[in-house]
């Protein structure tokens, strides 16, 4: 492997040039190269200044995150280099471009002067990994940008553009052109300039209240699952109140406490998981993608309109087809309302609003889809209807067009067969609201062509989705696991638990919403129809008790928030306990011979909801429906509100211990019986537990 850092001279200027694709990360080799190159500069007395420059699309965009798990990991080599760099008697200049993040910004701040191209963005995103900057970012940034902005950037992980970074004092000059040429010219202009050292600057506390740090710390303590927030406050306060050397010690101590923390390990797992999901085993890298310059959507409901917005947002024209003009106008009106709401909040300009609306065309004629490169059916979850629409699309769509179904549970292979061109068909399961939710389950049918799969994965990135590939089965990855979660929630309700107790038990873990509130929001009618459709297809277990509550609520017209009655009754959007639900549960329990109990604990609720869900994830992996355990974690974090600080359900299972989960599954099996396989631990789960391996690390052979 070639050295990622080269030292060279340009007249009186020494240049450290980094070339460590794709983002010039601070790998151990890169750090060693910087140290070696700087030593060469120090040894050459003829050189009057030093320039740091990076090849490729960006300056250093961060550190080597994979090294954080190493037992011998240390920030000392890089931090000592930064100290030597800053103490240079000769001017040191950084030429910035691209995304200057984390260790990259810390490197830049140790330089005496910083030039940036106009498109440059800077930030310290370590908080997104459950960390704080570990190379003096918490100490140098307050000295450049002031306490308030520094703490905001460190706690949020957000980026500043070049103009804002210039205004804040993080960079010294912004100019257009070639970064190397501009950097050399800037360095030449500074040969007689003093070596400005960030560590020696006073910290500005202008405009902050006397209780600024106390208030910030109190706010951070309200989110105990994210300890980096409080650590950031303590470090920035140290920068403001202590000498630099003592602040450095505070940062080092806080960083080392956070690095092995459960939150940081979980967030680092998700960081790598999000980058793995796009890698499809067996899919050639040189597959030729199909062109997607126009998209059709069948159905102008909430889902169809949201799907259409994804493409209009990135400049792709969309044709929306509906069965009636009333439904079409209602759908287009909802899209317009959503865009106008964004414009009212300042998120869209009037020009952007008009441009996006101009990309949307409505029609009552399927023939309007004939020239679309991709058509997505997004009608409600009914196999007969979807099968008929897919048959129509197979006849109408042009050769080479991709036909996608937004089904959340139905058999994609059956729908693909209905088109008569199964190789062109793929599942694209968006999550509601489709224009907001990050997750897209891409369902690979038995005959889906490789280029179709690759094209959809590519376009998913274009529209800002985290795309996870699933095989064909009921509910794919997410909804298949959600079904066992909802199953146990209903059994607990029939046995005597209350909706609020169930929701609070899992929300205490960090779930965005418990199962009862979740289904009330999504629509009990939607959930019930899914169960009914599966029953028609013969997919339910032969259990007379199975999901009887959701079907009864549906029968009674209790559809959730939209009818102000579901598992809860509602005043506006506020869920309130409803004694009528208890009466319904008591009656159903009596009808089906279920014993009511008063001793259901929160621990039992958590175990009964999450352990079968985890076990279902193991079954999905063993069947090859998902490629990796990490893929399943991404589905649940990006699409179902699973807490990111727990890393997803499979990562959480590994943290609990697979052996314990297998033991608890067996305990519930002995209490509740083995009927219908509800509590039968999967062979994969048992094998990994026996071998001491991790479920979230599992990858299908």
Which residues are part of the catalytic machinery? 106, 126
Please say whether the beta carbons of 466 and 277 come within 8 A.
yes
User: Sheet of 99-101: strands edge to edge?
Assistant: 99-101, 121-123, 159-161
The helix (run of H) or strand (run of E) holding residue 15 is strand 13-18
**Whole-number Å distance between alpha carbons of 243 and 240:** 8
Residue spans of alpha helices (H) in 430-498: 450-462, 478-495
Please say whether the beta carbons of 111 and 94 come within 8 A.
yes
Helix-then-strand count for the chain, H and E = 28, 19
DSSP bridge partners of 441:
429, 468
**Whole-number Å distance between alpha carbons of 653 and 612:** 11
Please say whether the beta carbons of 362 and 336 come within 8 A.
no
The helix (run of H) or strand (run of E) holding residue 268 is helix 262-276
**Whole-number Å distance between alpha carbons of 102 and 99:** 10
Select from 266, 239, 265 the least CA-distant residue to 250: 239
Please say whether the beta carbons of 432 and 522 come within 8 A.
yes
User: Residue 249 corresponds to which tokens in the numbers above?
Assistant: 């010690």
Would you call 518 exposed, middle or buried from its count of C-beta atoms within 10 A (0-12, 13-18, 19+)? buried
Select from 410, 478, 479, 480 the least CA-distant residue to 445: 410
Please say whether the beta carbons of 620 and 474 come within 8 A.
no
Torsion of CA 603, 608, 610, 614, to 10 degrees: 130
CA distances from 434 to 310, 335, 397 (A): 8, 12, 24
Torsion of CA 164, 169, 173, 179, to 10 degrees: -80
Please say whether the beta carbons of 130 and 268 come within 8 A.
yes
**Whole-number Å distance between alpha carbons of 228 and 214:** 16
**Whole-number Å distance between alpha carbons of 460 and 641:** 20
Contacts of 299 (CB under 8 A, 6+ apart): 320, 321, 322, 331, 377, 378, 379, 380
Select from 298, 297, 312 the least CA-distant residue to 342: 312
Measured in degrees and rounded to the nearest 5, phi and psi for residue 597 equal -130, 160
**Whole-number Å distance between alpha carbons of 557 and 476:** 28
Residue spans of alpha helices (H) in 496-557: 499-507, 515-522, 524-536, 548-555
DSSP bridge partners of 238:
none
Residue 446: how many CB atoms within 10 A of its CB?
11
DSSP bridge partners of 329:
none
Please say whether the beta carbons of 315 and 290 come within 8 A.
no
């Amino acid at each position: 492997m070639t050295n990622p850092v080269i030292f060279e001279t340009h007249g009186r200027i020494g240049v450290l040039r980094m070339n460590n694709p794709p983002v010039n990360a601070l790998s151990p080799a890169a750090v060693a190269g910087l140290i070696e190159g700087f030593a060469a500069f120090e040894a050459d007395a003829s050189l009057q200044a030093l320039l740091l420059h990076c090849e490729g699309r960006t300056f250093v965009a961060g550190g080597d995150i994979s090294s954080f798990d190493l037992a011998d990991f240390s920030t000392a080599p890089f931090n000592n280099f930064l100290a030597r760099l800053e103490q240079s008697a000769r001017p040191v200049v950084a030429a910035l471009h691209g995304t200057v993040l984390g260790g990259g910004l810390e490197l830049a701040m140790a330089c005496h002067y910083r030039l940036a191209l106009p498109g440059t963005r800077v930030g310290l995103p370590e908080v997104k990994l459950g960390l704080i900057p570990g190379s003096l970012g918490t100490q140098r940034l307050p000295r450049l940008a002031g306490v308030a902005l520094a703490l905001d950037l460190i706690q949020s992980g957000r980026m500043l553009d070049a103009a804002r970074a210039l205004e804040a004092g993080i960079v010294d000059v912004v100019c257009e052109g070639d970064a190397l040429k501009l950097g050399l010219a800037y360095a030449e202009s500074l040969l007689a300039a003093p070596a400005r050292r960030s560590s020696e600057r006073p910290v500005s506390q202008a405009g902050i209240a006397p209780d600024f740090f106390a208030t910030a710390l109190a706010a951070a303590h309200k989110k105990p699952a994210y300890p980096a927030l409080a650590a950031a406050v303590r470090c920035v306060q140290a920068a403001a109140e202590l000498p630099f050397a003592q602040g450095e010690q505070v940062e080092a101590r806080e960083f080392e406490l956070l690095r092995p923390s459960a939150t940081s390990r979980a967030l680092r797992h998700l960081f790598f998981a999000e980058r793995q999901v796009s890698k499809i085993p067996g899919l050639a890298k040189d597959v030729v993608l199909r062109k997607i310059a126009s998209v059709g959507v069948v159905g102008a409901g909430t889902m169809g309109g949201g799907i259409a917005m994804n493409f209009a947002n990135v400049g792709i024209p969309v044709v929306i087809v509906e069965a009636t003009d009333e439904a079409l106008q209602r759908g287009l009106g909802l899209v317009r309302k959503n865009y106008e709401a964004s414009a009212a909040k300042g998120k869209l300009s009037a020009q952007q609003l008009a441009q996006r609306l101009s990309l949307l065309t409505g029609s009552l004629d399927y023939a309007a889809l004939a020239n679309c490169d991709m058509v997505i059916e997004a009608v409600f979850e009914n196999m007969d209807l979807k099968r008929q629409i897919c048959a129509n699309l197979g006849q109408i769509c042009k050769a080479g067009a991709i036909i996608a179904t937004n089904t959340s549970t139905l058999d994609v292979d059956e729908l693909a067969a209905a088109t008569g061109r199964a190789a062109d068909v793929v599942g694209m399961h968006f999550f509601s609201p489709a224009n907001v939710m990050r997750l897209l389950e891409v369902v690979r049918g038995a005959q889906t062509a490789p280029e179709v799969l690759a094209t959809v994965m590519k376009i998913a990135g274009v529209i800002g989705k985290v795309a996870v590939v699933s095989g064909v089965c009921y509910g794919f990855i997410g909804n298949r696991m959600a079904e066992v979660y909802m199953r146990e929630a209903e059994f607990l309700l029939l046995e005597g638990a209350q909706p609020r107790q169930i929701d609070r038990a899992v929300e205490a873990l960090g779930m965005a919403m418990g199962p009862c509130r979740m289904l009330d929001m999504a629509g009990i009618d939607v959930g019930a129809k899914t169960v009914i459709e599966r029953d028609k297809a013969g997919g339910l277990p032969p259990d007379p008790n199975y999901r009887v509550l959701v079907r009864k609520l549906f029968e009674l017209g209790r559809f959730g928030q939209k009818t102000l009655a579901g598992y809860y009754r509602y005043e506006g959007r506020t869920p309130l306990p409803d004694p009528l639900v208890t009466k319904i549960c008591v009656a159903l329990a009596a009808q089906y011979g279920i014993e009511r109990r008063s001793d259901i604990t929160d621990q039992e609720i958590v175990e009964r909801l999450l352990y079968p869900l985890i076990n279902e994830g193991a079954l999905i992996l063993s069947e090859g429906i998902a490629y990796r355990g990490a893929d399943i974690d991404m589905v649940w974090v990006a699409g179902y509100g699973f807490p990111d600080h727990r890393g997803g359900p499979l990562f959480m299972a590994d943290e609990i211990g697979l052996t314990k989960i297998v033991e608890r599954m067996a305990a519930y099996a002995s209490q509740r019986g083995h009927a219908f396989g509800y509590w039968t631990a999967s062979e994969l789960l048992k094998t990994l537990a026996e071998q001491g391996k991790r479920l979230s690390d599992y990858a299908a052979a």
